[in-house]
Amino acid sequence: MKVVRSPKQIQEIVRKIKKQGRSIGFVPTMGALHPGHLSLIRGARKDNQAVFVSIFVNPIQFGPREDLSKYPRPIKKDIALCNKEGVDFIFYPSFKSMYPDGFDTYVNVPGLTEGLCGKFRPGHFKGVTTVVNKLFNLIQPDIAYFGQKDYQQALAVKKMAEDLSMPLAVKVAPTIREKDGLAMSSRNKYLNPSERKDAVLLYRGLKLARNLINKGNHNCVSVINSVRKFLKQGRTISVQYISIVDLKNIEPALILKGKVLIALAVYAGKTRLIDNIIVKI
């Protein structure tokens, strides 16, 4: 395994691999790797002949009051985990190499990024799609891998790739959870014991919504209110949003039919957590 810091060097490596006719699987990350990331790496390893992982805490997707400065950066541990999983190359660029002086080009996917998290994190998805576009241009993957927990992000990236005629596939893998159901996230490390205890309510609340729908309650407002009431038992929990949306366009579901996404974002103390499930009616 090789750790590469230079964008030019990673391009040279990619050119050689492409010339050899080998397929590239790519997992973009901000580091602080957990079993959710590792499951994506394993998928990439299974499907492709070369596996690339990027580790880059992308400043332009963080808002001014968000956790950029304290975001975990255990790079030595991340490198060891990638090595163990059979990653071929880690791309670990500096901020300066990704955003040199005078950088002024951004990629935006409106519509898909305006609801759910986009409503509360202005500019976030613009930062995500910009950096992912740069990474796709550098690494030229055949398949890129994302987790369902970040469903809105994955959908925006997929739309970007389609609209810009990028010759790659975007695979969305199931959310990996702790034994008690909490979706794995690098930000779970921020939670104190009380907040960690309350955080399990997120997935339980989503399952409550699914059960209500499966039992015939197709009133979105009623289902959402039931989940909101359920989450109130968590003393450290404050709800940012609970939404039931169309799976393809993230628009609020008016009629519950086919497949819908039930998504939520809450604060457990000062830590923002998201989760979702897909429900088939």
What's the CA gap between 138 and 129, in Å, rounded?
14
Residue of 34, 37, 124, 218 marked active site: 37
Count Cβ neighbours within 10 Å for each residue of 46-79 and write b for 16 or more, e otherwise: eebebbbbbbbbbebbbeeeeeeeebbeeeeebb
Q: Are 47 and 117 in contact (CB under 8 A)?
A: no
Tell me, yes or no, if 37 is annotated catalytic: yes
Cβ(32)–Cβ(78) below 8 Å? yes
145 close to 171: Cβ distance less than 8 angstroms: yes
Tokens 């332009």 identify what position?
Answer: 60
DSSP type of residue 252: B
**First-residue to last-residue Cα distance in the chain:** 45
Tokens (6 digits) for 146: 């994302």
Cα separation of 192 and 188, whole Å?
9
Rounded-to-integer distance, Cα 31 and Cα 192, Å: 21
Cβ neighbour number for residue 254 with a 10 Å cutoff:
9
Going by C-alpha positions, the residue among 207, 223, 227, 229 that lies closest to residue 279 is: 207
* 3/12 Cα distance (integer angstroms): 14
Residue 41 gets the label, from left (phi > 0), alpha (psi -120 to 50) or beta, of alpha
- Is the separation of the CB atoms in 276 and 261 below 8 Å? yes
How many residues can be counted in the chain? Answer: 281
The set of catalytic residues is 37
